[in-house]
Structure 1
Amino acid sequence: MKIRNSSNKKIFARFNEILQIFRKYGFSYLLGQTTIKRYNPFRSSDLDDIKKGLANDIPERLRLMFQDLGTTYIKLGQLLSTRPDIVGRRIANELSKLQDNNPSVGYDEIQNTIETELHDSIPNLFKSFSKKPIATASIGQVHEGILPTGEKVAIKIQKADIEETIDTDLTIMKFIAEKADKYINSLKIYNLPGIIEEFERSIKKEIDYNQELMNMKHLAYDFKNDNTIHIPNVYPKYCSKKVITMEYIDGVKLADVFESDDPKFDKKLIADRGVKSYFKQIFINGFFHADPHPGNIFILDDNVVCFIDEGMMGLLDKEFKENLAELMILFTDNNVDNLIDQLMYMDILTEKIDIKNLKRDLNDMFSRYYGAELGQVKGAMNDLINLMTKYQVKLPNEFVLMARGIAIVEDIGQNLDPSFDVVPILQPIARKIITKKYSPKKLASSFKTNMFAFEHMIKVLPKRINKIFYKIEEGEIKINLELNNLNRITNKISLALIISALLIGSSYVMSIDKGPMIEDMPILGFIGFVVSLVLGVFTVLKYMGND
C-alpha cells in the first residue's frame, strides 16, 4: 500500500490525525517529525529517541494514546493486553485497563440498522423495543425487547459505519507496521506486521455477529447436558451480520456476587462449577471463552453459571489439546526437564534456544513456588510467559489465550473462596485425557485414521525408490556407505516389519464389530496390539540398549 498515491481523502485525514495523536503522547520518534506532504517518517532511528521508549511511564502513555485513537486501537490494545509474551507484562497489564465504551448513538440510527438488516419494521419484529440502550460499547450497543412470541430478549446492534472506520484504520496500521518493521531495528523482534495480521482476523470476527451467533450455539451444544452451566439462547430469525438477538439474562453479575453476603449464593459451589466448566471448555471440548472475566459471567437461580459475550473464542485441535494436557501435568508437577521436552515437541521451543540457561531459569522459577497455593500457581504461569518473552519465544495465540483464561478463572475461584485450589481440579482432567490418548482403542482409531496415508506411502514407495536409483546412476546423488554388522541390521528391519504388519492388521480387525469383544474391541485386534507392544518393548531393550 502507498498512502501518498492514494486518492482516498478519508485515509489521508485519518492518517494525519493518527500522526498528531502519536506526537501528543510522545511517540513521535516512531513516526518521525514530518508531515504527509514530505512523508518519510521512518528514516530516523536516533538512539536518544529510541531510549525514550524505556521511560517508566510508557505503558500509561501507550494506553492513553490507544484510548484517544478510538475503537480500532482500543481493540488492538485489548488484544496486546493478552500477549505479555510480545509486549511484556508491564505494558500488557496497563493495556488491560482500556475501556471499551463510547457514547450511545441515537434511536434513529439504531432503527435504521435493525430494519435494514432484518428487512422489516421494528413494530413488526418486536412486541416491544426499548429506545434507551441498557449497555453501550465502541462497536455496538444493547437494547431490551420482547419478541411477538413473548420471550424477553437483548438485542445487540452494531453502530453505523463502524466497519468502514475499522477498515480505514487497518489499512493505516498495516502501512505503519510494515514501515516500522523495515526501518526500526529495535522493533523487528515484535513482528509488527504479524501482530496486525492476527488483530485483523480477530476484529473481523468480532464485528461479524453471525460468527458470535455460531459461537453461542456451539458453546450451548457443548453444555446441553449440564444444567449447572447456561449459555443464552439465540434467535437466528432476528440475527444478521450487524444484529444479534439473544435471551435476556436476568441474573447477577459475578463481580457483584463477590461482594454479596446473600446466603442464596453458594460461593464455593459457584467457584467449583465455574472452574470445572472452563477446564472442560479447554481440555475436553477444545472450544473456550477467550475472555471469561467477571463481567462476562452471571449467576442465575440455584447457582447456575451463565457465560455471556461469546464474540471472542479460542479453538484447539485434538492434538494440541492432548499436548496441552501433558504440558499442564508437567507444569503442576514442576517437572522441568520433561516440560522443556514437551515445549520442544509442540514446536514452541526450537534448537536455537539456549536450553541450558532456560532450564536453570525454570528451576529457579519453580523453586519459588514449591508447595504453592492457588494464587502463586497463577503467578508461576505468568512467570513462565515472562521467561518465554526473555528468550524471544513466540507463543501460539491459542496458548496465550488459554493461559490468560486460566489466570482469570483462578482469580475468580480465589475471590469466591480464598481456600479454593485449582490444581486438584486441573490434574485429574488432564490425566484423564492423557490416559485416553494412550488407550488401545484410541491407538487403534489412530491407525485407522492413518490407514490411507499408509496405503499412499506403499503405492508411491516403488516409484520413489526407482527415482532415487536413477539419480544415483546418473551421478546426481552420491552415497558413501559403510556396512557393519549387516546381519544385526537385517534382524532389526525384519522385526520392525513384523511389528508394523501386526499393528496394521490389528487396526483392520479393530474396524470389525463382530465376533468376541472385550471393552467394545475385537479380541483378535486387542491381542494383536498387545503382541505388538511386547515386541516393540523387546526391540527397544534388546537392540537400542546395545547400540
Structure 2
Amino acid sequence: MGSVSNGLKGAFRIGQTASVLGRAGVNWAFGDRPPVPRLLRETFESLGATYIKLGQFIASSPTFFPKEYVEEFQGCLDRTPSLPFGVMKRIIRQELGRPIEEVYAEIDPIPLASASIAQVHAARLLTGEDVVIKVQKPGVENILLTDLNFLYLSARILETLAPKLSWTSLSGIVEEIQRTMMEECDFIKEANNLKVFRNFLNETHNDDATAPLVYENCSTRRILTMERFHGVPLTDLESIRGYAKDPERTLITAMNTWFASLTQCEFFHADVHAGNLMVLRDGRVGFIDFGIVGRIRPDTWAAVSDFISAVMVGNFEGMADAMIRIGITRESVSVDALAEDLRNLYRRMDRMVPDEIPYQADQAEDDVNNILMDMVKIGEGHGLHFPREFALLLKQFLYFDRYVHILAPEMDVFMDERLNMLH
C-alpha cells in the first residue's frame, strides 16, 4: 500500500511541477520576459524544496555553471513558510516513540527558523538544558526523490539529444545533487558530523571555537536535538564588541579553526555564511549547521595549498601547475599557455582598478568572486574540469574574504603571522 501511495504522491508532484512550468511558459508567451537566469530562479522558488536546493547548488558551483546563473542564484534564499506547530509536534512524538512531556519541559511553538527541508524550534529538556530541535518537514524525502528522478531522466534525455553537453555531464551533476540532498535529509549523518567536529576541536586543544553538543537520546533520522547557542552572527560588529574584546582576533580564531579542519578533520564546513558562524556570549566562535560538508583528498588539498601560495606571490606558472593538478582533464595541458592566460587576466585587472579611487568592501568581494570565476573559466578553456569540492572551497574563501572586509579591513590575510592558512 505504501508504494502505491508514494507512487500517487509522485505522480501528483510531477503534475504540480508541470503546472508551475506551464504557468511560467504562458507568462513568457504573453510578454512577461525577465532575463533567463532570473526567470529560472523565480521558477525554482515556486517549485519549492528540491529546486531551491538546486538553486543553492548552482550558486555554490562556479566551476559547473555560467557566471550570470551563479550570481543570480546567490539570491535563492532557503526561507519557506513554517508549518503549524501541531504538525511538528506529531513528528517529534512519532520519532521519540514516547510522550513529548517525558523528554522536553517545554517547546516554543513559534519556530526560530523555517527552511525547505526542516524547521527549528527552541526547547528545554526536562534536565534543564536549553536546546534547539531541528524537525524534518513531512513528505520532504518523497518530494526530493520524485523531483530528482525527474531531473535525472530529463538530464539523460538532454545528453542524448545534445552529446556535446556530456563533458559537463548533467546527469553526473544531478547525481551529485541527489547525494548531497539525501545526506541533508539524514539527521543521523549531521549528528555524526557534529560529533566528529567536536572531537577535532578537542584533539587540537581548540578552546576558542565550539560546535553544538548533540543529545542522542532525543535525536533520530528526522529530528535532531542540539545544545542551543546564545550569541550573534559573525558579521554583527556592534554586538560582537560586547561579547569579544577584539573582533579581529575572533575572526582569526574562526579562520584558523576552519583552515585546520582542512587537514586535521574528516571534512570541512562547506557553508560558512554569517548565519552559521556565531560569536557566543563568552567570546567563543560557534560553528553551526553541519548539513553541508566537503571532503577533499590530501593530494588535492596539497595542490590547492600550492595554488593559494602561488596566488599570494603572483607566480603564474605555479598557479597554472596547481590548477592542472586540481582539475580533471582528458588531454595534456600546457603549463606555459595557461600561465600566460592567467598573467593576461591579472594585467586586465590592474587596468580595471585605478589606484586613486577608495576601494569599497562590496566591490572587493565582487572582484574576488569575478577573479576566481575568470580563473576557472580560463582553466576550462584549456580543457580542465574542476571538482565541485574545489568550488566549495573557493566559496568559503570568499565568505572569509567578506568577513575580513567587515571585521578587520586593515588586515592583510596573506601576510598576517597569526593566520595559519596552509598548515
TM-score (norm 1): 0.67
In the TM superposition, what is the alpha-carbon distance from 1:250 to its structure 2 partner? 0.9
8 A contact 1:353–1:391 mirrored in 2 = yes
8 A contact 1:272–1:413 mirrored in 2 = no
List runs of 5+ in structure 1 lacking aligned partners: 1-6, 34-54, 434-547
Q: Does 1:14 align with 2:22?
A: no
Note the 1:24-39 alignment, pairs <5 A: 24-26=23-25
Q: 1:416-470: CA deviations, max 9, x gaps?
A: 1211222125997466x4xxxxxxxxxxxxxxxxxxxxxxxxxxxxxxxxxxxxx
8 A contact 2:327–2:384 mirrored in 1 = no
List runs of 5+ in structure 2 lacking aligned partners: 1-5
Q: 1:172-231: CA deviations, max 9, x gaps?
A: 111111111211456445321011000000001000000110111111111122121111
Rg comparison, structure with higher value: 1
In structure 2, relative to structure 1, the CA distance for the partners of 1:283 and 1:419 (3 Å cut) is farther
1:307 maps to what in 2?
A: 287
1:235 maps to what in 2?
A: 215
SS of the residue corresponding to residue 87 of structure 1 reads coil
Which range moved further: 326-335 or 16-25?
A: 16-25
In the TM superposition, what is the alpha-carbon distance from 1:260 to its structure 2 partner? 4.8
RMSD: 3.0
In the TM superposition, what is the alpha-carbon distance from 1:245 to its structure 2 partner? 0.4
SS of the residue corresponding to residue 306 of structure 1 reads strand
In the TM superposition, what is the alpha-carbon distance from 1:28 to its structure 2 partner? 11
8 A contact 2:111–2:122 mirrored in 1 = yes
Q: 1:75 aligns with which of 37, 45, 53?
A: 53
1:340 maps to what in 2?
A: 320
In the TM superposition, what is the alpha-carbon distance from 1:392 to its structure 2 partner? 5.4
Q: 1:252-304: CA deviations, max 9, x gaps?
A: 1224x135585544222222222222222224435211010001111113431
Q: Which has the higher contact order (CA 8 A, sep 6+)?
A: 2
Q: Does 1:97 align with 2:79?
A: no
Q: 2:178 aligns with which of 197, 200, 211?
A: 200
Q: Does 1:116 align with 2:94?
A: yes
2:347 maps to what in 1?
A: 367
In the TM superposition, what is the alpha-carbon distance from 1:313 to its structure 2 partner? 0.6
SS of the residue corresponding to residue 384 of structure 2 reads coil
In structure 2, relative to structure 1, the CA distance for the partners of 1:390 and 1:223 (3 Å cut) is same
SS of the residue corresponding to residue 41 of structure 2 reads helix
In structure 1, distance between residues paired with 2:23 and 2:35: 14
8 A contact 2:327–2:386 mirrored in 1 = no
SS of the residue corresponding to residue 420 of structure 1 reads coil
TM-score (norm 2): 0.86
In structure 1, distance between residues paired with 2:317 and 2:329: 13
Note the 1:77-476 alignment, pairs <5 A: 77-184=55-162, 187-224=165-202, 225-255=205-235, 257-258=236-237, 260=239, 262=241, 264-265=243-244, 266-285=246-265, 287-349=267-329, 351-353=331-333, 357-367=337-347, 379-391=370-382, 393-425=384-416, 429=420, 433=423
In the TM superposition, what is the alpha-carbon distance from 1:64 to its structure 2 partner? 0.3
SS of the residue corresponding to residue 210 of structure 1 reads helix
In the TM superposition, what is the alpha-carbon distance from 1:95 to its structure 2 partner? 0.8
8 A contact 1:128–1:145 mirrored in 2 = yes
In structure 2, distance between residues paired with 1:95 and 1:249: 29
Q: 1:306-361: CA deviations, max 9, x gaps?
A: 11111111112333322322222122222222332233334535535565653322
1:520 maps to what in 2?
A: none
In structure 2, distance between residues paired with 1:343 and 1:27: 44
In structure 2, relative to structure 1, the CA distance for the partners of 1:420 and 1:286 (3 Å cut) is farther
8 A contact 2:327–2:385 mirrored in 1 = no
In structure 2, distance between residues paired with 1:199 and 1:267: 36
Q: 1:472-527: CA deviations, max 9, x gaps?
A: xxxxxxxxxxxxxxxxxxxxxxxxxxxxxxxxxxxxxxxxxxxxxxxxxxxxxxxx
Q: 1:103-137: CA deviations, max 9, x gaps?
A: 21122221221121121110011122222222211
In the TM superposition, what is the alpha-carbon distance from 1:390 to its structure 2 partner? 4.2
8 A contact 2:317–2:335 mirrored in 1 = no
% identity of equivalent residues: 26
2:3 maps to what in 1?
A: none
8 A contact 1:378–1:410 mirrored in 2 = no
